[in-house]
Amino acid sequence: MKAARLHDYDQALILDEVDEPALTGPHDVIVKIGAAGLCRTDIHIRDGDWKAVQQAAELELPYTLGHENAGWVHEVGSAVDGFDVGDAVILHPLITCGRCRACRAGDDMHCADAAFPGLVVDGGFADFMKTGARNLIKLTGGLEPAEVAAHADAGLTAYHAVKKAAAILHPGTKAVVIGAGGLGHIAIQCLKAMTPAEVIVVDTSEPALKLAEQIGADHGVLAEGSEVDTVKNLTDGAGAEVVIDFVAERGVEKRAPEMVRNAGTYYVVGYGGSLDVLTHTMIFREINIVGNLVGSFNDLAELMTLAAQGKVTLHTATYPLDAINDAIADLEGGRLQGRGILIP
């Protein structure tokens, strides 16, 4: 089969002809990939930014990238129950053990013995991929793999952060979304579908703000240097109860906490920067800073419900798998509108 593999850090992926993956454990499932999302993390991986994590996991190059996957069940292990060949599925990005306390508590993203395909084992930029039965969700309501693949990681991460924030967003509250890109535009739709909050979107791009308003944002704020003041003006001078930061680098993470109202919460989703908040500010304003990983299996099932109901839609650009390096070039060059989707 074909697979887009990384042979060396800082080098382009190579389309290789490789063996199809084979079942090795009783809970294994081989999925025929229908679509795989391209993520900025794939570029970070190529650049070696995740080398330490990969070495700790004893990954050896070359290997196949791709961690946002959907497709159809192709073959199932001896202990797999409930899936038939041909079932359309989306793949939770973590292969989890099902036995540890976290798995047993519904926090499977904190599984004590997980693997992350596309990062530390072969992923979905290929015709087929091996995964586990525990991370498959059947697609229903007419959803197709190509429509939803990007929800497997980008959507799931945005949904997870919004779900946490929803608990404190009563009528009259405001939520700031920083970064209206791949994750941000899903977060905006989730906020509008799940909460009565007013949504303020901050971005450096006018077209991104325009799209944000089309999909439900109440206010768009162009980040030109005075965005903290503008947000304050939109929130009675006090700041917002919720700030969700999909950037969290290049200094954004220094200014974002200033947009948070006293007793409010700053949700960190993006990464690259470093928090720098006085402990005096933490206590005097009694604010919270909440880290956000990808969501749980049930989170993904809930997001699929929103997608099937038409409440959350993805903006995508489709490429054949052969053109993966074009897709990556477009993403790096800022020419990729919406999430890039690879079709094998």
Return the residues of window 234-263 that contact a copy of itself according to CB under 8 A: 248-249, 253, 262-263
Burial of 68 (0-12, 13-18, 19+ CB in 10 A): buried
Does residue 147 belong to the site contacting a copy of itself (CB under 8 A)?
no
What DSSP string describes 117-145?
BTTTB--SSBSEEEEEGGGEEE--TT--H
Does residue 56 belong to the site contacting a copy of itself (CB under 8 A)?
no
| 173 versus 230: smaller Cβ distance to a copy of itself | 173
Please state the closest distance from residue 78 (CB atom) to a copy of itself, in A. Answer: 6
User: Residue from 55, 226, 305, 337 that binds a copy of itself (CB under 8 A)?
Assistant: 305
263: its two tokens = 């007793």
| 102 versus 223: smaller Cβ distance to a copy of itself | 102
- The interface mask with a copy of itself, positions 82-111, x = CB under 8 A, is x--------------xxx-xx-xxxxxxx-
Residues 194-223 that bind a copy of itself (CB under 8 A): 194-196
User: Residue from 134, 151, 185, 339 that binds a copy of itself (CB under 8 A)?
Assistant: 134
Q: Which residues contact 129 (CB under 8 A, 6 or more apart)?
A: 21, 30, 31, 33, 64, 66, 69, 71, 91, 117, 122, 123
Query: Stretches 67-75, 220-228, 279-287, 334-342: which one binds a copy of itself (CB under 8 A)?
Result: 279-287
Q: Which residues contact 233 (CB under 8 A, 6 or more apart)?
A: none
DSSP three-state, residue 67: coil
| 98 versus 338: smaller Cβ distance to a copy of itself | 98
186: its two tokens = 């899903």
User: Residue from 172, 225, 310, 333 that binds a copy of itself (CB under 8 A)?
Assistant: 172
Give the Cβ contact number of residue 151 at 10 Å.
27
Element (H, E) at 88: strand 88-91
Does residue 281 belong to the site contacting a copy of itself (CB under 8 A)?
yes
Does residue 272 belong to the site contacting a copy of itself (CB under 8 A)?
yes
